[in-house]
Amino acid sequence: MSTDEESGYVQLSRRYETGDLWFYHDGTEFEIRDVSPLFDLPGGVVVDRFLDELLKLSADRTWENDYDGFEIFHSKAEIAIRNVVDHTLDQVKECSDTALVAEQVGAQAESIYDTWKDMAYAWINEWMKLYNILLKNQTEDEISQISTVANAVGDNPFFSGVDYESLLQCCSEV
């Protein structure tokens, strides 16, 4: 499992890819459209850990035994995601809006989701989608500038055969 051993948080790693992201967990499909190149959540690991944390908080019994409604489940989900992903990191702190998740998932949750796991899947899928959207919105201009520069460098014949990693390291030291 991909976790930061000292903190217990899921280890984030950037994809540097765009397009759509799909993955499956216990037969449930997760889809995140138009992924930011800076998207750094390992989806399957986040879902695994999120479910484990919800079980520790007895969210399964809360939902399935009708002890409480969506608000309590949502509160437990907020605690769970904070135990899974390090919210002191700038990108997580700025792109982790659980209130928007509640708006998207909670409106008719009690009539739509029969099991706690279905509810959990809907909640975490929406959280990851919103994380991606907010991350993309926060970095769109800079990514566009990088793309423009990269295209200009690629069009310049003097850069053919250049080791770009070495060049980037050299430029960052200037």
Q: What is the pLDDT of residue 4?
A: 57
Q: Do residues 116 and 63 make contact, with C-beta atoms less than 8 angstroms apart?
A: yes
Query: Which is more confidently placed, 160 or 115?
Result: 115
10 phi/psi in degrees, rounded to 5: -65, 135
Inform me whether the pLDDT recorded for 82 exceeds 70: yes
Kindly state the average pLDDT of the residues 109-127: 92
Inform me whether the pLDDT recorded for 138 exceeds 80: yes
Residue 159 DSSP code: G
Inform me whether the pLDDT recorded for 3 exceeds 60: no
Smallest Cα–Cα separation from 83: which of 134, 141, 25, 8?
Answer: 8
Q: 31-56: buried (b, 16+ CB within 10 Å) or exposed (e) per residue?
A: ebeebbbbbbbbbebbbbbbbebbee
In the chain, which ranges are continuous DSSP H helix?
Answer: 43-56, 59-64, 70-84, 90-95, 98-106, 109-112, 116-155, 164-173
Kindly state the average pLDDT of the residues 65-77: 85
Phi-psi region of 154 (alpha: psi -120 to 50; beta: other; left: phi over 0): alpha
- Provide Rg for the chain, Cα atoms: 19
Inform me whether the pLDDT recorded for 41 exceeds 70: yes
Q: What is the pLDDT of residue 110?
A: 83
Please tell me the pTM assigned to this model: 0.83
Residue 158's pLDDT band, with cuts at 50, 70 and 90, is confident
Cα separation of 45 and 49, whole Å?
A: 6
Q: Which two tokens stand for residue 17?
A: 């890819």
Q: What is the pLDDT of residue 1?
A: 45
